[in-house]
Structure 1
Amino acid sequence: MTDRQTVSHVLRRLTFGPTATEVDKAGETGAAATISAALAHRTAPPGPDLSTGPPLAQDADRDARREARAQQNAELDRWWLRQMAADGTAGEKLTFFWHGHWATSIQKVKSAALMYRQQQTFRRYGTGDTGPFIRAMLRDPALILWLDGQQNTARAPNENLARELMELFTLGVGHYTEEDVRAGARVLTGWTVDRGAGTSRLMPKRHDQSPVTLLGTTGVIDLDGYADLLVRHRAHAPFLAARLWLRYGSGAPPSAAVVERLVTAFGPGRDVTAMLHALVLDPEFPATNGQLVKQPVEWVVSAVRQLGIDAGKLDDKQLKQLSAMMRALGQVPFRPPSVGGWPAGAAWLTTASAQVRLRSAPNLVTLAPGAVATLEQAARPDRLDALARLLVIDRWTDRTAAVLAPAAQDPKKLITLGLATPEYAVH
């Protein structure tokens, strides 16, 4: 790959929809500096205004409370869509990764405030040591509600949270036993959520304080002790390495050599940012170019950013339109279909999804007069190259170029077709 292709590949994976200008700047500074700058810690953005609508007091009218929740949910959706499109940084994309990893849905939690609080946890802890991160997530009210943790009592242990914690979030299948699930559930008994305060707390009368044998350790183990056993487990670092590789590297599982290198970078400090840094510098990473399918959220946000659409100026109707695109494509933030999160890879490359992208693209082009003007200014024979630059695509295949060429006389149609190409769906 050329230097420009190298930094384009890195930025496409680490961030949401890098613009041509951002790639130009990265090309000047080089891949190493680009990666360091992209992964540098940034201050969390201001939160959404969730004060709209009538109060959510339990004694309020049921319809009024339902309407208030709907308004707050919509405001949270608009806030994150604006944030992803306006910022698009590696930190924002990592937050999106963690959202898919912990896969909590507002449809069951029924609280925009709790979902936003979970996002704050992703932003605060998701870049560093997974120990404090997992401890915080085990106290997260939204996750507790999502996985029935508030129903987990000493008299009637509920295993949902303990099972998914080990299977989907920290260790993976085959690295724990059913006895570990039962023991983990007992350790997590007694945690309840105060919806009004937006907090969780341990109720001693509901908690089982008896000794357990959990992941090879016997004794009285509390929540923090459970988290420590998980992050010290030999399966934890390789599990996380594989999950990051599948979302940032390739849709295929990583080789044993890649996993070993990423685990080494993760180190005793369990540093997520160091692992991600090592991932995009890995010798096997360049060969993954063109192998990862964009998730619907990535497709929409990337298009908004690369077409130069000012997310801060989008009105509620336009934001609803963008949300409708994601919904039609099968992915809406804060609403994963299950605790396993959204599908990946070829699942997003159906004939139906291709038709949705083709129908949605004209609406995006309507919001991007600047992008249309850029192509209009290019000579007609150069417009395919100008489109590739605009959408940060390395090159068109001969087959795609043959489809695009007749549309070169109409910039709006050309951009519309460009957004629906395989080169834009797979990066």
Structure 2
Amino acid sequence: MSAWTYKEAVHLLNRAGFGGTPEEIAACVRLGCKESVRRLIGGISLTGKNEELAEFNTMYREADKKRPLLENRISDWAQYWIYRMAYSQFPLVEKMTLFWHGHFTSAESKVDETRFMQVQNRLLRQYALGDFRELAHKIGKDRAMMVYLDLDRSRKDAPNENYAREFMEIFTLGIRNFTEQDVKELARAFTGWRFGDPAFIQDYWVDKGTKTLLGVTGNLGYTEAVNIILSQPAYPKFMAKKLLRFFAVDNPDQVWIDHVANNISKMKTMGEVLQELFTSNEFYNPKYRMAVIKAPADYVAGTIRALQMYVFASDSSEAAKYMGQFLFMPPNVAGWPGGEAWLEGLMSRYSFSGNIAAKTDINKSEFKPAQPADPDAWIDVWCKRFGIAELSQNTRAGLRSYVKDTIINSSQPLAGMRGLMRLVLLCPEMQMK
């Protein structure tokens, strides 16, 4: 790339994490692209801080510690995950855990056991940047997944096709890259598994007959069948497109898909794949900046991260839920649709911004510019706080007029300051990354 500036640093932190504090953005600018990416991939703090996250059982729903989080309440686990997103010094791990949650999808609504969802969440975090092929093997033996897609019910006299179909269509190959007969044969290869700790084979329920899957014939079991699927040329291209849609652009071109697919084919870990992506010139092409609508988890966790406020005071998981992303409760096996679908939750973003503005101690020097008579200085304070690298002329003009009327020329500037914060949270540029 021609230069590494504030804009590129904000772009990286928005995509590889949940934005950043002003200190993190400044550190990213100072460190440069390669070192910043190395730290994000390696789980090294950008700022040198090594603050450990609080454990779930030490957290409280309210700031005054009136109600602890409950182990059997999925909304409390969603709240805790927002906390991890907002405060982790290793945000890419949480971002990739979120990616895998929307890829290898399970929902508590069917699993109906919160602890199973937590075991799965830990599995996805363990492999967030690790060996993605190994994760593809392990996810089918995960108890939440076995319940969600009925693999625990599959036996040789009645193979259940749910997991087999979704494993190829949604998780690995995509539609039109397998046949209905392949689904039937894969279902036979997946028979006999029962959940336990760990999952185990019930031998008399296993179909040990000859199977033909994607042109390969043999006495195929679970491991052999998964390996056959992961060896298909459609697999790296399918994964490359999903990664680029999540991290880069809604409609990546085929040349970029093919390039990332080639890396997926030859690299062992997702960390290696992402390191190449985040240091590539194409990733920082200006046309991709501010080109993707923030998911609710991005928007909520990013706001809290920027302010470093008490995460539970804003009912953050409920806010994300009403914006359209209830963590641990994706709408179906395909996960959340993303893209323009997130716009359906704009009214909930409006409500969230009001709650945040009301609960922020606005009368602090850090929220006031050195030139209080300059409306652009007020705007820049909040743009820098929320990692907004550029505003359109129309947005800036509207905010400038508001600042003049409600802060600079007002007898009650604190109300105007809260209003400005809220308007910045609601501006089009804040919804994009």
User: Normalized against structure 2, the TM-score is what?
Assistant: 0.86
Q: Give the match's secondary structure for 1:369.
A: coil
2:306 pairs with 1:340:
no
Which residue of structure 1 lines up, in the alignment, with residue 122 of structure 2? Answer: 120
Residue 301 (structure 1) aligns with: 301
1:403 Cα shift?
2.1
Deviation of 1:236 after TM superposition, in Å, equals 1.0
Structure 1 residues 245 and 126: CA distance shift in structure 2, 3 A: same
Cα distance change on mapping 1:156 and 1:47 into 2, 3 Å? farther
Of residues 164, 181, 184 in structure 2, which corresponds to 1:182?
A: 184
User: Hey, what does 1:60 align to over in structure 2?
Assistant: none
Alignment partner, residue 426 of structure 1 = 432
Match of 2:66 in 1: none
Distance change in 2, residues 1:346/1:222 (3 Å) = same
- CA displacement, residues 202-244 of structure 1 (integer Å, 9 cap, x when unaligned): 2112221111001211001111112211221111111111100
Change (3 A) 1:41 1:213: farther
| 1:39–1:98 distance in 2 versus 1, CA, 3 Å | same
Contact 1:249 1:279 in 2 (8 A): no
Unaligned runs of 5+ in 1: 53-67
Contact 1:263 1:275 in 2 (8 A): no
Aligned to 1:266: 264
Distance of 1:142 and 1:92 partners within structure 2: 19
Q: For the aligned residues, what is the CA RMSD?
A: 2.4
How far the C-alpha of 1:181 sits from its partner, in A, is 0.5
Cα distance in structure 1, aligned partners of 2:200 and 2:242 = 30
Question: Is 1:282 matched up with 2:280?
Answer: yes
1:69 deviates by 8.7
Q: Does 1:357 align with 2:349?
A: yes
User: 3-state SS of the aligned residue for 1:104?
Assistant: coil
CA-to-partner distance for each residue in 1:77-123, whole Å, 9 max, x for gaps?
Answer: 23212211111611111101100111210111111211111112112
Structure 1, residues 272-302: CA drift from partner, whole Å, max 9, x if none?
A: 1121122222332223101111011111000
Offset at residue 34 of structure 1 (A)? 0.6
Query: Could you tell me how far 1:378 is from its partner in structure 2?
Result: 4.2
What's the counterpart of residue 134 of structure 2?
Answer: 132
Q: Distance in 2 between matches of 1:274 and 1:280?
A: 10
Instruction: State which of 376, 383, 386 in structure 2 corresponds to 1:391.
Output: 386
Higher mean alpha-carbon deviation, 205-214 vs 359-368, is at 359-368
TM-fit CA distance, 1:3 = 1.4
Tell me what 2:84 maps to.
Answer: 83
Which residue of the other structure, out of 388, 399, 412, is the alignment partner of 1:404?
399
**What is residue 154 of structure 1 aligned with on the other side?**
156
1:327 counterpart = 2:321: yes
Q: Deviation at 1:371?
A: 8.4
- Counterpart contact for 2:237–2:258, Cα < 8 Å: yes
TM-score calculated relative to the size of structure 1: 0.87
Counterpart amino acid of residue 128 in structure 2: G
Alpha-carbon offset, residue 265 of structure 1? 2.6
- Cα deviation for residue 376 of structure 1 reads 2.7
SS at match of 2:191: coil
- State the secondary structure of the residue aligned to 1:213: strand
* Residue ranges of structure 2 left out of the alignment (5+ in a row): 45-49, 61-68, 408-415
Bigger drift between 72-81 and 164-173 goes to 72-81
Q: In structure 2, what is the Cα distance between the partners aligned to 1:217 and 1:338?
A: 31
User: Map of 1:31-42 to 2, 5 A cutoff?
Assistant: 31-41=33-43
In structure 2, distance between residues paired with 1:28 and 1:46: 29
Q: What pairs with 1:191-270 in structure 2 (closer than 5 Å)?
A: 191-194=193-196, 199-252=198-251, 254-270=252-268
Q: Please say if residues 86 and 310 of structure 1, whose CA atoms lie closer than 8 Å, have aligned partners that are also in contact.
A: no
1:244 aligns to what SS in structure 2?
A: helix
Q: 1:269 to 1:2 in 2, by over 3 A?
A: closer
- Counterpart amino acid of 2:294? K
- Change in Cα spacing, 1:188 to 1:48, as seen in structure 2 (3 Å) is farther
CA distance in 1, matches of 2:172, 2:325: 24
Shift of 1:161: 0.2
Specify the code of the residue in structure 2 equivalent to 1:246.
R
Query: CA offset at residue 46 of structure 1?
Result: 7.4
The count of residues paired between Structure 1 and Structure 2 equals: 399
Q: Which secondary structure state, in structure 1, belongs to the residue aligned with residue 102 of structure 2?
A: helix
Q: Distance in 1 between matches of 2:54 and 2:271?
A: 23
Secondary structure at the counterpart of residue 368 of structure 2: helix
The offset of 1:383, in angstroms, is 0.7
SS at match of 2:195: strand
The percent of aligned pairs where both chains have the same amino acid is 26
Deviations 1:20-45 (A, max 9, x none): 21110111110111111111147997
Distance 2:365 2:300 in 1: 21
